[in-house]
Amino acid sequence: MITLRPTDLAREHGISTQAVRNYERDGFIPPAERTRSGYRIYTEVHAAALRAYLSLVPAYGHAAGGQIMNALHEDGLDAALSVIDRGHGQLLRDRETLNAVRQAVDHLTAEPGAAPEQPADSAARTIGELAHRLRVTPATLRNWEEAGILAPARDPATGYRVFRASDIRDAELAHLLRRGGYLLGYIATVVQQIRTAGGTDALSGALDEWQRKLTARGLAMLNAATQLSDYLSLLDRAVPQQGAGHRSRPSAK
């Protein structure tokens, strides 16, 4: 198998050799063998691993990309696939939320005095239930309330927050825009616009931008799938399997 230097791997991606060493240290690429003088010796397996990891980052994020590679190198193919499945599930959820908000905007544009469309699942939720639905903490929802994004009612008997259909819609929208990098103050303004059925230009612009991001992430997932498949194929050829579904992580000498 062709041997490569750290500079060879780094040059392909325009990164530093230190970054390559860091990725090896963190388990994102397999450990390299060493020469007698201590220099690393990489192979096409390492190059494919680096391509796979760097393609995972724009698709699933740095943390998830690292989890996927770590799982693969620890004989955890199913664990790696579970992280990938969650990423696809989140992308689908984002698309569904985006479409729901677009429908609300279209409705508001067509009928300025009408109320925005509500989520199909209109059951009221507690703060814990809504936090679980969005995969955030209750503290996050309280912060959004303090920022003016959410305005839940209170149960007269218990004093607990009650999030109804319109509150859930606002929380979904806030969650969507937060992932798009928008600040709470901006999100509060956007939510207020859709509440009052006025001025949806800013909201439409934000949704168009987020649509582009979702498209880019979907395409990145396709590219990552190709790179990851190539890497797994190389592992199958380079490392004898020890039982069905088992891949051993190459070890350093």
Give SS3 for 158.
coil
Within the chain, strands assigned E span: 3-4, 33-34, 40-43, 153-154, 161-162
List pLDDT tens digits, range 208-246. Answer: 888 999 999 999 999 999 999 999 999 888 765 443 334
pLDDT score of 253: 34
Are 161 and 128 within 8 A, CB to CB?
no
Closest CA to 227 of 41, 58, 82: 58
Torsion of CA 61, 67, 68, 72, to 10 degrees: 160
List pLDDT tens digits, range 10-63. Answer: 999 999 999 999 999 999 999 999 999 989 999 999 999 999 999 999 999 999
Sheet with 33-34, side-by-side order of all strands: 3-4, 40-43, 33-34
pLDDT class for 107, splitting at 50, 70, 90? low
Give SS3 for 3.
strand
**What is the Cβ-side half-sphere exposure of residue 97, based on CA atoms within 13 angstroms?**
22
Exposure string over 112-128, b if 16+ CB within 10 A, otherwise e: eeeebbebeeeeebbbe
Whole-prediction pTM: 0.66
Cβ neighbours of residue 134 closer than 8 Å, sequence gap 6 or more: 141, 171, 172, 175
Kindly state the tokens that stand for 166: 């319109």
